[in-house]
Amino acid sequence: MRWMWIDRVIELVPRTRLVAIKNVSLAEEHLHDHFAADIGRGLPATPVMPASLVVEGLAQTGGILVGHASGFAYNVVLAKVGKFELTRDVFPGATLRYTATAERFDDAGASIRGEVAMLDHARAAEGFVTIGSIELIFSHLNNSMVAGAGLENLPAHNFVFGESFKSLLRNSGFGEA
């Protein structure tokens, strides 16, 4: 079981762009704590998707794009979050659309620009409205990079892109990853 923060991939242009959808649901338990009602202070429950999970969704979207580019030959890890901006709160019932665009690939990793747009179904006529952006750097993790860091002997299999991500791509209609 893996922490999946995207529900479906809707567009994949290899090495160029990947677009994914996340439906925010009140069934997600953390939303009941973020933020719970504070009776003493008279504050009602206010479920808001944590911005850190928006970052995670963007990172997963970008990570699949980077992993796909090498046929999932590398363990792709998020190495750096550059600027991140989120201008609106995200509430249950909203749909988020994450767009990851590749800016640069090389043997060491990749630089990705991400954008998040929100569809508020109560204002469906407005369509998706851009509410944030991010800069991400991904690194291809290998044994030589972690030598000396007490992390020798990484698992031989690809431990970043396991079955969950492959199923997600397959179920989104993008074939066998």
Partner 1 sequence: MTRADIEAKVRGVLVDALAVDDEDVTLKASLVRDLGAESIDFLDIVFKLEQAFGFKIGEGELFPNSFAQDPKFVSAGKVTGDGVAFLKQRMPKLDLSSFEKDPSVSKVPGLFTVEMIVDFVEKKLGTH
The four Cα atoms 59, 19, 131, 120 give a dihedral, to 10 degrees, of: -120
Nearest to partner 1 of 106, 152 (CB atom): 106
Nearest to partner 1 of 24, 136 (CB atom): 136
Structure tokens at 69: 């580019």
Q: How far is the CB of 91 from partner 1 (least distance, A)?
A: 30
The binding site for partner 1 (CB under 8 A) comprises 79-80, 82, 103-104, 106-109, 111, 137, 139, 144
34 is catalytic: yes
Nearest to partner 1 of 82, 127 (CB atom): 82
CA 174, CA 9: separation in Å to the nearest integer? 8
Identify the three-state secondary structure at position 116: strand
Identify the three-state secondary structure at position 139: strand
Helical pair 51-69 and 163-171, crossing angle rounded to 10 deg: 80
Q: How far is the CB of 77 from partner 1 (least distance, A)?
A: 10
Q: Catalytic: which of 32, 34, 68, 157?
A: 34
Q: How far is the CB of 46 from partner 1 (least distance, A)?
A: 31
By annotation, the residues acting in catalysis are 34
